[in-house]
Amino acid sequence: MQALWMVLGSFLFATMAVGIKFASASFGTLELVLYRGIVSVVFMGVVLHTRGVPLRTPVPMMHVWRSTVGVLSLSAWFYAIAHLPVATAMTLNYMSGVWVAAFIVGGALLYGQAQRQGPLLGTVLLGFVGVVLTLRPTIDQNQLFAGVIGLLSGMGAALAYMQVTALGKVGEPEVRTVFYFSVGTVVVGALFTDFTPWSQVSFTAAAWVIPIGVLASLGQWCMTRAYSHGSTLVVASMQYSGIVFAAIYSLTLFGDKIEPIGWMGIAVIVTSGVLATALRARAMPNTPAEDH
């Protein structure tokens, strides 16, 4: 059942990415982060009240760190969606599972235990082979920067979800974790949009803001619930269904063309992510892999 929560969450995130793609023609990236946060705060505030979960948290600094890293990752992902095919941006963000493996390997190197991390290192290298295959056919020269930003969004997601794991272990309710992340998006979005001109948008463009926020909240709630109660390996594997949904949207709604080598790269990234999750689950059974 928890795997189905992950599939639903992945579908909601992919659908949110469609809204971001359309809205990015009228809004700046940080404006979208801000508006997404405002809608999510209202939505999750209602959920908190309905479920009787108090706002007070015994671990405020853990939420600050989780929100800071998560918002940076979210902003990078929104930028990538605006400038890349939806399927490509989604795939790069889902590299987070491979980044977690890379962090584990890096830690092993520091502590002189690299010989034990050969299989994980293999999944990391495999993942980056997939990145090369994916980006080479789908990114023009003027999209190279967006590709790098997309990769960084996956790295940030990995760091954020390691913190989500820690929050779950200290007993933080999932709805409160999602709520405070939404608050963080509002704070960061409001701070940085003060340094950029506000976009003049039509009512039609502004109408995208509400579904983006609601879809983001529901997707994150589903994902957090899946990781809180389900098998890490099964749930993390199911998250890659989001790439399938994103690819369908890319082809049907935006007419994006991904060459066969690009599809091969996406398949390699998914394979490396699943393998990395299987290997690290032995040592870190509750480490999830993704943030939106």
Torsion of CA 91, 278, 170, 77, to 10 degrees: -10
pLDDT confidence bin for 183, thresholds 50/70/90: very high
Q: What is the DSSP letter of 245?
A: H
Condensed to tens digits (0 to 9), the pLDDT of residues 40-59 reads 999 999 999 999 999 999 99
Q: Is the pLDDT confidence value at 291 over 60? A: no
Lowest mean pLDDT among 14-23, 62-71, 268-277: 268-277
d(CA 201, CA 103): 41
**Token digits of residue 49:** 């009240």
d(CA 242, CA 221): 15
Mean pLDDT across 191-198: 72
- CB neighbours of residue 113 within 10 Å: 11
pLDDT of residue 287: 46
With tokens 């990415």, the residue in question is 17
pLDDT of residue 280: 63
Contact 159, 97 (CB under 8 A): no
Share of the chain above pLDDT 70, in %: 79
d(CA 119, CA 40): 39
Nearest to 205 by CA among 14, 19, 16: 19
**Read out DSSP for 243-275?**
HHHHHHHHHHHS-----HHHHHHHHHHHHHHHH
pLDDT confidence bin for 62, thresholds 50/70/90: very high
**Read out DSSP for 130-164?**
HHHHHHHHH--GGGHHHHHHHHHHHHHHHHHHHHH
pLDDT of residue 284: 52
pLDDT confidence bin for 289, thresholds 50/70/90: very low
Mean pLDDT across 130-136: 74
Q: Is the pLDDT confidence value at 190 over 60? A: yes
Buried b (16+ CB within 10 A) or exposed e, 148-163: ebbbbbbbbbbbbbbb
Of the two residues 64 and 112, the one the predictor is more confident about is 64
For the chain, what is the mean pLDDT?
A: 81
Condensed to tens digits (0 to 9), the pLDDT of residues 248-283 reads 898 899 888 777 888 888 888 888 877 777 776 665
Condensed to tens digits (0 to 9), the pLDDT of residues 138-178 reads 566 667 788 889 989 988 988 887 787 788 888 888 889 88
Condensed to tens digits (0 to 9), the pLDDT of residues 85-130 reads 888 888 888 887 778 777 777 776 676 665 566 676 677 778 778 8
Give me the long-range contacts of 203-209 (CB less than 8 A, separation at least 24). 205/23, 205/25, 205/26, 205/27, 206/26, 208/19, 208/22, 208/23, 209/23, 209/32, 209/35, 209/36, 209/39
Q: Is the pLDDT confidence value at 17 over 80? A: yes
d(CA 124, CA 102): 6
d(CA 53, CA 39): 19
Q: What is residue 59's three-state secondary structure?
A: coil
